[in-house]
Amino acid sequence: MAKTLAINAGSSTLKWKLFSMPEETVIASGMVDRLNLPGSIFKVKLPDGKKIVDTQDNITNELAAAMVLTRLKSYGIVKHLSEITGVGHRIVAGGEVFKDSAVITPIVLKQIMELKDYAPLHNPVQAYYIEVFQQLLPEAKQVAVFDTSLYAEMPAVNYMYSIPYEYYDKLGARKYGAHGTSHRYVAHRTAEILGKPLKDLKLITLHLGSGSSITAFDHGQALDTSMGFTPLAGVMMGTRSGDIDASLVAFLAEKLGKTMPEMIAILNHKSGLLGISELSPDQRDLEKTQDERPKSKLALEMFVNRVVRYVGSYIAELNGVDAIVFTAGSGENGVEMRQAIADKLDYFGIAIDPAKNDFRGEEHIVSPDGGRVKVLVVPTNEELMIVRDVERLTK
């Protein structure tokens, strides 16, 4: 029985699933949450359904990678690591180099690293995981699955920036988007739930988590997306600023005596929910403290505001919408956040039934019966998309 491991490394999480292929049966799964933060959590779901949760402060990226394979053996999920014949890695930025997933070679790995400027929080970490798993699983075939490939055919009117065209021709300066693997799965799964072909639907998918992005689908094609040249653009996020006036960045750099790389690091690592709340990048921490900490409350309100702006603009671009879909950490588990966003979109016929919305991490339609726009929560399954691409490219 061939086993394929999907590795999905985010900016603050490492998710993994081990599949039996080609049956697409999940053998075991797990994740490390709150990487590099106090109270890091290592979760494993065993083949018999038993769940194991360990808490350890400040689990690093390096330790998380090692823990995945050692736990697979120590829990008896695999007897020998050689049973794993394929590994698929989610990679955020493929630029214009990768318009599809790719079997990893030394050249491909080098190109992933060279694209680090397009996703500074992700590509270096994801390239690191590739190297680790190549060393620990030398016989396994390794495949990179790029988030940006979903947006390769996005209309030029939406991926071009209004700067000199030669910057696109010579430097590839354009919107590339991110989280495409997640948005791709959620869009297809939503069509299945609604019992309609994806090509007949107008959808807006909201991937809301430590990193957040919003994508508009027009009859099966990605029409527009919130993240830009890098994942720094778009809505406010855990530690990322989202959209910001470029002149403000230059102003702050001058006044603070910072270099431009230092300013970009601040916008990536010290802004967003963390920067406004001055407490945490994690929405759960802010929700617990919002009643006594005005800055926690403000950060949450700003996040809702930025999401609502994008959804409204995409409804205009699509000339209407059939369904709004929440996914990822906050989208799947943020009961209050989902309600707050929907409440500000009621003008468009978007509503959530509070009784239907009272759950976390499950697949549901949460809009009222007969609602003009369907509102769904669809847990993302990037790992399934990843192993399908491993199967497609290595068999």
**Is 15 a known ligand-binding residue?**
yes
DSSP string, 114-151: HTGGG-TTTHHHHHHHHHHHHHH-TTSEEEEEEGGGGG
Whether 147 is a known active-site residue: answer: yes
CB 371 within 8 Å of CB 74: no
Closest by CA position to 192, among listed 325, 335, 348: 325
CB 4 within 8 Å of CB 13: no
Cα 239 to Cα 237: distance, rounded to the nearest angstrom: 6
- Extract the tokens encoding 351: 């509503």
**Is 392 a known ligand-binding residue?**
no
**Of 33, 48, 54, 147, which is the active-site residue?**
147
Chain centroid to CA 336:
20
H/E element, 294: helix 294-318
**Is 14 a known ligand-binding residue?**
no
DSSP string, 310-345: HHHHHHHHHTS-SEEEEEHHHHHH-HHHHHHHHHTT
**Is 322 a known ligand-binding residue?**
no
Give, in order, the Cα–Cα distances in Å from 335 to each of 92, 151, 157, 352, 357: 27, 29, 35, 10, 6
Give CA torsion, residues 75, 76, 81, 83, to 10 deg: -140
**Is 126 a known ligand-binding residue?**
no
Give CA torsion, residues 16, 57, 235, 259, to 10 deg: -120
**Is 90 a known ligand-binding residue?**
yes
Q: Determine the residue type at 254.
A: E
**Is 111 a known ligand-binding residue?**
no
Give CA torsion, residues 135, 139, 141, 144, to 10 deg: 0
Active-site positions read 147
- Residues annotated within the binding site for substrate are 90
- Residues annotated within the binding site for Mg(2+) are 8, 382
- Residues annotated within the binding site are 8, 15, 90, 207-211, 282-284, 382
